[in-house]
Amino acid sequence: MRKWAALAGILALGGCGQGGQQEAKAPQQQASAAPAPAPQGPQVHIVALGDSLFAGYGLRAEEAYPVRLEAALRTHGVNASVVNAGVSGDTTEDGLARLQFTLSSQAQAPDMVLISLGGNDMLRGLPLDRTKANLDAILGELAKRHIKTVVMGMLAAPNMGPDYAKQFNAIFPALAKKHGAVLVPFFLKPIFGKPALQLPDHIHPTAQGVEAMVGATVDVVKP
């Protein structure tokens, strides 16, 4: 909790990873490459729309969560192709602004979209009603297109105060339920409070941390 409080200001200024010496690039148009041969069966096209937690802040491109998730899915027999559409520093408003372009620019309509947005809204103290409205619009558009969605939930830092945390934390489960999306309650749970799995900012995952996050979510995404 103390780490959250101390780092909230830093990350708010940094936009949850606006930059970084080794930040993985997040091209919206390139599907990540998996090391294993593609399993038999129709290919499943997945787009990972999010912030630095998808973009791979501080990691090599091949260590980013979408790349490692693709590899894990293929190991589990799913012929998955995951496009990394993560952009460090993105808020829910940024994600909504580029949603239409991201979807329309794919060679094939995605079967699934993963959403990891909202952390930067919280760290910057943006109005909660706008965060909720932006996520509502994103999930509503995906539902309208009949695209399956997995929401990577986030929890508020304790220094934001109990009232703010209560309202912020409730956004993700409420909207997932409203739009029939699958919810991962706290995306960072596998690495939270585990320095060996975190970068020096005590928030973003190391390569090993990404593997822990993939391990905790692959069985959610797979079905």
Q: Which of 38-52, 78-92, 151-165, 170-184 has the lowest mean pLDDT?
A: 38-52
> Are the C-beta atoms of 117 and 49 separated by less than 8 Å?
yes
At 26, the pLDDT band (50, 70, 90 cuts) reads very low
Per-residue pLDDT at 37: 55
Q: What sign does the CA torsion over 99, 186, 39, 56 have?
A: positive
In this predicted structure, the answer to whether residue 181 has a pLDDT above a threshold of 60 is yes
CA distance 135 to 210: 24
Helix (H, G, I), strand (E, B) or coil at 59: coil
In this predicted structure, the answer to whether residue 105 has a pLDDT above a threshold of 90 is yes
Per-residue pLDDT at 36: 53
Per-residue pLDDT at 119: 96
Per-residue pLDDT at 49: 98
What are the φ/ψ torsions at residue 17 (nearest 5 degrees)?
105, 50
Torsion of CA 216, 73, 202, 199, to 10 degrees: 150
Choose between 38 and 198: higher pLDDT: 198
> Are the C-beta atoms of 116 and 54 separated by less than 8 Å?
yes
In this predicted structure, the answer to whether residue 5 has a pLDDT above a threshold of 60 is no
In this predicted structure, the answer to whether residue 123 has a pLDDT above a threshold of 90 is yes
Domains of the chain with bracketed CATH:
2-221 (3.40.50.1110)
At 146, the pLDDT band (50, 70, 90 cuts) reads very high
Per-residue pLDDT at 41: 78
Per-residue pLDDT at 32: 52
Q: Which of 32-36, 87-91, 134-138 has the lowest mean pLDDT?
A: 32-36
> Are the C-beta atoms of 160 and 8 separated by less than 8 Å?
yes
Active site residues: 52, 201, 204
